[in-house]
């Protein structure tokens, strides 16, 4: 009898050991059910590691446009004050370069203004456009006590990043019309499949994994709904647009989810309104620190355990997580590339989920909303130590401008 108990105990122990090993080593598929919950000790250890302070390097030159008079102001290395830009050597190429540098799609207008017509303080100094034909922030912007021409530059870029006055989101809340006016719903065969963001009147940014299986003959099956917060949309609010072209990144890898970005060109330009507006792109070299509060929105699943898709657009605030921390062994163990970023909570509860893919992760800087990320992938939804992973838009600015310009 005693021997039988020993044998039975050994068999039970072996079975438990095998089960634990299987649970530990099996890597879950992306968005295919939940992942094994981490125990309290591991979760705590993840929360306590890699709490580095992110430092943003100072650029050689920074730009801004005065919102009252559209004067172009420049801050050069080692100088704290903002300087006006002399009109000498100025041209439209510099205007295009600076608008893009600031996160706008295109230059709208530029002109010279007489110094006598602007209100200046007595200590005002100036900068002059660098010598040379190429536009680059690496050039030396020379400071001046005055402008020989007696004129300075005003600049106006395309509209973006503002909203009217009037979570795949687990743990999110309903959204009022116009709160995220750049949010769109991508429909395939009259069914919502992904989110997207308006960046120009004819251009939408989404995730490559939303569209990469579909070729030109099927373009007529796609439509983009804008100016809505509910499904089915109200007729007086919705604007449905046909799709002329879909371009996903040539390096997109559907296994690693790297380069998960795509552009959609609409057949006709959108009519902007309080509920339909573009979002700004990030500024070049802009690197927001870990902990920055950003927002994700979408119509994705609100419960990771079923396929319920909400009728109303949901939103959730998610803090950015450093790539170093997100790549730690107890989170994504090195799977996060330089073209991805993480956002969310290590204890889970709030996250994006199926159906939110391609939608926006936006952060507000200088009173302007910028598209920092695109909902890309994750393991499960709102699971501990499995925050959402987003395509890092800042890594694709040149690609975005190149596609739009060539078209």
Write out pLDDT tens, residues 344-379: 988 866 656 666 899 999 999 989 999 999 999 987
Structural domain total, the chain: 3
Q: Give pLDDT, residue 36.
A: 27
In which band, very low, low, confident or very high, does the pLDDT at 323 lie, cut at 50, 70 and 90? very high
- pLDDT tens per residue across span 1-30: 544 455 555 555 555 444 443 333 333 323
Q: Give pLDDT, residue 351.
A: 59
- Residues 324-333, mean pLDDT to the nearest whole number: 93
Catalytic positions, written as ranges: 209, 260, 357
For 249, the domain range is: 181-277+398-406
Q: Across the chain, which distance is largest between two alpha carbons, in Å?
A: 106
Indicate if 70 and 95 belong to the same structural domain: yes
Indicate if 349 and 332 belong to the same structural domain: yes
Name the most confidently modeled range: 107-121, 205-219, 372-386, 392-406.
392-406
Indicate if 379 and 402 belong to the same structural domain: no
Domain membership of residue 163 (yes or no) is: no
Indicate if 81 and 100 belong to the same structural domain: yes
Domain membership of residue 170 (yes or no) is: no
- pLDDT tens per residue across span 91-112: 999 999 999 999 999 999 999 9
Indicate if 273 and 311 belong to the same structural domain: no
Q: What is the DSSP string of 192-204?
A: EEEEEEEEETTEE
Indicate if 389 and 250 belong to the same structural domain: no
d(CA 278, CA 272): 8
Name the most confidently modeled range: 10-24, 59-73, 374-388.
59-73
Domain membership of residue 126 (yes or no) is: yes
Q: What is the CATH number of the domain that holds 338?
A: 2.40.10.10
Domain membership of residue 124 (yes or no) is: yes
d(CA 158, CA 198): 13
**In terms of DSSP bridges, do strands 83-85 and 126-128 run parallel, antiparallel, or are they unpaired?**
parallel
Q: Give pLDDT, residue 172.
A: 52
Q: What is the CATH number of the domain that holds 117?
A: 3.10.250.10
Of the three residues 157, 191, 218, the one that is the final residue of a domain is 157
Calculate the average pLDDT of the chain. 81
- Does the pLDDT at position 130 exceed 80? yes
Could you tell me where the beta strands, DSSP code E, fall in 140-283? Answer: 142-144, 151-157, 173-174, 183-188, 191-200, 203-206, 222-226, 239-248, 262-266
Indicate if 299 and 242 belong to the same structural domain: no
- pLDDT tens per residue across span 298-321: 987 655 555 556 678 989 999 999
Give the pair of three-digit tokens for residue 259: 């380069």
d(CA 288, CA 307): 34
Domain membership of residue 11 (yes or no) is: no
More confident position, 115 or 168: 115
In which band, very low, low, confident or very high, does the pLDDT at 134 lie, cut at 50, 70 and 90? low
Indicate if 334 and 402 belong to the same structural domain: no
Q: Give pLDDT, residue 307.
A: 55
d(CA 92, CA 72): 13
Q: Give pLDDT, residue 304.
A: 53
Indicate if 209 and 297 belong to the same structural domain: no
Indicate if 67 and 196 belong to the same structural domain: no
Q: Give pLDDT, residue 68.
A: 87
Domain membership of residue 320 (yes or no) is: yes
- Residues 199-216, mean pLDDT to the nearest whole number: 88
Domain membership of residue 13 (yes or no) is: no
Domain membership of residue 222 (yes or no) is: yes
Does residue 113 contact residue 66 with C-beta atoms inside 8 Å?
A: no
Instruction: Indicate the pTM of the whole model.
Output: 0.80
Three-class DSSP category at 172:
coil
Of the three residues 118, 142, 157, the one that is the final residue of a domain is 157
Q: What is the DSSP string of 319-362?
A: EEE-HHHHTSTTTTTT---TTEEEES-TT-SSB--TT-TT-EEE
- Does the pLDDT at position 40 exceed 50? no
Indicate if 265 and 402 belong to the same structural domain: yes
- Does the pLDDT at position 84 exceed 80? yes
- Does the pLDDT at position 61 exceed 50? yes
Of the three residues 157, 190, 219, the one that is the final residue of a domain is 157
Indicate if 254 and 402 belong to the same structural domain: yes
């Amino acid at each position: 009898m005693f021997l039988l108990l020993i044998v039975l105990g050994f068999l039970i122990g072996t079975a438990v050991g095998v089960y634990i090993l299987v649970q530990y080593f099996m890597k879950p598929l992306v968005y295919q059910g939940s992942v094994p919950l981490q125990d309290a000790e591991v979760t705590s250890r993840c929360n306590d590691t890699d709490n580095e302070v992110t430092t943003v390097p100072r650029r050689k030159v920074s730009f801004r446009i005065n919102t009252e008079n559209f004067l172009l102001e420049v801050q050069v290395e080692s100088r704290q004050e903002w300087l006006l830009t002399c009109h000498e050597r100025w041209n439209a190429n510099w205007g295009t370069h600076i608008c893009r540098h600031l996160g706008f799609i295109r230059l709208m207008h530029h002109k010279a203004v007489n110094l006598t017509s602007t209100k200046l303080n007595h200590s005002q100094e100036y900068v002059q456009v660098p010598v040379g034909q190429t536009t680059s922030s690496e050039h030396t912007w020379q400071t001046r006590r005055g402008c020989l021409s007696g004129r300075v530059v005003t600049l106006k870029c395309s509209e973006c990043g503002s909203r009217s006055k009037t979570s795949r989101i687990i743990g999110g809340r309903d959204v009022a019309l116009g709160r995220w006016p750049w949010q769109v719903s991508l429909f395939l065969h009259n069914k919502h499949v992904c989110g997207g963001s308006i960046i120009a009147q004819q251009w939408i940014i989404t995730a490559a994994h939303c569209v990469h299986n579909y070729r030109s003959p099927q373009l007529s099956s796609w439509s983009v709904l804008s100016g809505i917060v509910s499904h089915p949309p109200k007729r007086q609010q919705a604007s449905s647009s046909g799709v002329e072209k879909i371009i996903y990144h040539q390096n997109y890898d559907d296994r690693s989810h790297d380069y998960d970005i795509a552009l959609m060109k609409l057949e006709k330009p959108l009519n902007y309104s309080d509920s339909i507006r573009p979002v700004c792109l990030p500024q070049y070299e802009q690197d927001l620190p870990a902990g920055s509060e950003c927002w994700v929105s979408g119509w994705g699943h609100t419960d990771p355990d079923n396929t319920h898709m909400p009728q109303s657009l949901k939103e959730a605030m998610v803090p950015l997580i450093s790539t170093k921390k997100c790549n730690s062994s107890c989170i994504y163990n090195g799977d996060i590339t330089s073209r991805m970023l993480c956002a969310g909570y290590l204890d889970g509860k709030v996250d994006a989920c199926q159906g939110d893919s391609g939608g926006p992760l936006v952060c507000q800087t200088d009173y302007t909303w910028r598209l920092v990320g695109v909902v890309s992938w994750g393991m499960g939804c709102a699971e501990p130590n499995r925050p959402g992973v987003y395509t890092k838009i800042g890594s694709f600015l040149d690609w975005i401008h190149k596609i739009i310009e060539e078209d």
